[in-house]
Chain A
Amino acid sequence: MKVGKAKADNRATWIRVAVLASAVGALEIACRVGWVPATMVIAPSAMVKALIETLQSDDIGAHLQQTLSAVAIAMGLSIVGGFLIGFVLHWVPFLRRAFNPFLAAYYAIPHFAFYPLLIVIFGLGPAPLIVLATLFAMVAMIVATMAGLDRVPRVLLKTARMHRLSLLEEIWRIRLPAAAPHLLSGVKLAVAYSFIGVIAGEFILSTSGIGHEIAYAYDNFDNPRMYALILFVLAIVTCFNMAVYAYERRLARRRGA
């Protein structure tokens, strides 16, 4: 059984790599032959070359630092804040009843439409970006926390009472570990949404940061730099998500999922 599954996994990986490689290869050929004009898309190899050059240029460090620190702050705020809010809403039913409609409709709101307003309130610095990204990411964490805590099996709570655990012990030793898989998927979403929030915000209206640099390169027909930065953002987000995913897999394997 296990061997069969590993084999199937291997084959799936192989197919995935093959599809990706042939797509990149096809794009490379299409660009080199001239089917796709360089004003539209540049060849993947040119993107990589431009990426190396861009990373060597001395102005990129400041942009990188600004974007990544904004993302890190938004991530921290949305994960911690989202967990705490989700926890309180789980614990206080009437608050939950009051706020549930907002949570349900939350992702129907076009958050970025409020970005200009946030700039008016917080000024043109990293603050509105962080607020925007946090607003965007936090609700995913709230919803995941509530789902996780809701699904703790009642029999485990009865077991806690049998062992006469205090409330804090029950939360720490039973509820949180039982909810961990849901909490982790909330973290994964919060990570992704924080990146989207900050970079998209920079894109719209900002004077620095990776998102701004991409938009700036776009406005100046600097395709190599634009694609280099897009590739860079993709690489970072993928690395981050893979790290969380690997941790999640380890937890899940242990639990036999």
Chain B
Amino acid sequence: MTAAAPRLAAVPSEAAPKVHARLDGVTRVYPPRAGHGEVHALGPISFDLRAGEFFSVVGPSGCGKSTLLDVLAGLAVPSAGSVEFEGKPVRGEVPDGVGVVFQEDASFPWLTVEDNVAFGLRRAGVDAAESRRRVDFAVGFMGLKDFRRAYPSQLSGGMRQRVCIARTLVMQPRLILLDEPFGALDQQTRLLMGDELLRLWRETSATVLLITHALDEANLLSDRIGVMSARPGRFIDIVETGWPRERDSRLAERPDFGAVTSRLWSYLRGESLRALGQGSAAR
């Protein structure tokens, strides 16, 4: 706790933002299996997630972005190093106050939209009246009011992803981790979902970590963007965007918007080529 990561906390100490989660020298190595040897997927990575910030992670495919999220969420145990959330170590279990939205459709096809959204509440010991209030809010917030009694199969992919976000939202997480949640959606829907995500982030004042492969999306949504190298993934740089807290997809019209995307791409072009090279060499 005492030794702050000096590499990233370049801000004077009295103005230093509160650390919400911390990764310290985290690596993840997969043991050798039939067909390939040991795979060094991630790290070592050290960085602090500041309380209330919107942080995105971009990187070439296969660089360990999802592994980073799994380790941070407690869904995977790091091979070395440590993870902390709100000052407590995270190891092999998702801490209370962390919500995850996955890339794949994780809605439960056998439950209605409202039962999907309410899924975690009973287990968390939330009483019926409070549950109803939270579900009403989340369903309304995500624009699912007219579909409360629908089953996921009756919804589009974007709406199903909203169901999953609402299901995470009702748990009132203080840290929301999103693993390419809009990966399967078309560009227009992505932009609108991005706006909703920003609204959600502002209104809940949660810390958000978003994994994405879309540089524009990362730029638009984030306070800071971590750029990862090809496998084993490490941060090449962490870019501060400096955007105002009140923002939406119209930010892309700003003249300085393109400069940030260009900077991200200048980092990633080489890494992406390397990642491609790795792929063909493995074959």
Q: Which A residues form the contact surface with B (CB < 8 A)?
A: 153, 155-156, 158-159, 161-165, 169, 174, 177-178, 180, 251, 254-257
Chain A residues in 8 Å Cβ range of B283? none
Which one of B100, B103, B106, B154 has the highest number of Cβ atoms from chain A below 10 Å of its Cβ? B106
Chain A residues in 8 Å Cβ range of B154? 256
How many inter-chain residue pairs (CB < 8 Å) link A and B? 57
Interface of A is mostly: helix
Would B108 and A156 count as touching, CB distance under 8 A? yes
Chain A residues in 8 Å Cβ range of B108? 156, 174, 177-178
Query: How distant is the Cα of A174 from the Cα of B109 in the complex, in angstroms?
Result: 10
Would A155 and B151 count as touching, CB distance under 8 A? no
Q: Which B residues form the contact surface with A (CB < 8 A)?
A: 73, 75, 93-94, 96, 98-100, 102-106, 108-110, 119-120, 123, 151-154, 168, 171
30 A-B contacts, Cβ less than 8 Å apart?
A153-B106, A155-B102, A155-B103, A156-B108, A159-B102, A161-B75, A161-B93, A162-B94, A162-B98, A162-B99, A163-B123, A164-B93, A164-B123, A165-B123, A174-B108, A177-B110, A178-B108, A178-B109, A178-B110, A180-B110, A251-B110, A254-B110, A254-B151, A255-B110, A255-B151, A256-B151, A256-B152, A256-B153, A256-B154, A257-B153
Query: How distant is the Cα of A78 from the Cα of B250 in the complex, in angstroms?
Result: 62
Chain B residues in 8 Å Cβ range of A159? 100, 102, 106
Query: How distant is the Cα of A153 from the Cα of B100 in the complex, in angstroms?
Result: 16
Once A254-B151, A256-B153 are accepted as A-B contacts, the answer to whether A169 and B110 lie under 8 Å apart by CB is no
Query: How distant is the Cα of A131 from the Cα of B98 in the complex, in angstroms?
Result: 52
**A108 to chain B: closest CB distance in Å?**
30
**A4 to chain B: closest CB distance in Å?**
17
Would B94 and A161 count as touching, CB distance under 8 A? yes
Interface of B is mostly: loop
Would A158 and B123 count as touching, CB distance under 8 A? no
Query: How distant is the Cα of A31 from the Cα of B221 in the complex, in angstroms?
Result: 80
Chain B residues in 8 Å Cβ range of A169? 123
Would B153 and A163 count as touching, CB distance under 8 A? no
**A226 to chain B: closest CB distance in Å?**
46
Q: Nearest CB to that of B105 among chain A residues? A: A155
**A67 to chain B: closest CB distance in Å?**
36
Interface pairs A-B: 5 shortest CB-CB: A256-B153, A155-B104, A177-B110, A163-B120, A155-B106
Query: How distant is the Cα of A98 from the Cα of B106 in the complex, in angstroms?
Result: 33
Q: Nearest CB to that of B153 among chain A residues? A: A256
Query: How distant is the Cα of A164 from the Cα of B120 in the complex, in angstroms?
Result: 9
**A251 to chain B: closest CB distance in Å?**
8
Q: Nearest CB to that of A156 among chain B residues? A: B106
Would A162 and B110 count as touching, CB distance under 8 A? no
Chain B residues in 8 Å Cβ range of A161? 75, 93-94
Query: How distant is the Cα of A257 from the Cα of B151 in the complex, in angstroms?
Result: 11
Chain B residues in 8 Å Cβ range of A163? 119-120, 123, 171
Chain A residues in 8 Å Cβ range of B93? 161, 164
Q: Nearest CB to that of A153 among chain B residues? A: B104
Chain A residues in 8 Å Cβ range of B119? 163
13 extra interface residue pairs, beta carbon distance < 8 Å, beyond A158-B106, A163-B119, A163-B171: A153-B104, A155-B102, A159-B102, A159-B106, A162-B168, A164-B93, A164-B96, A177-B108, A178-B109, A251-B110, A254-B153, A256-B109, A256-B154
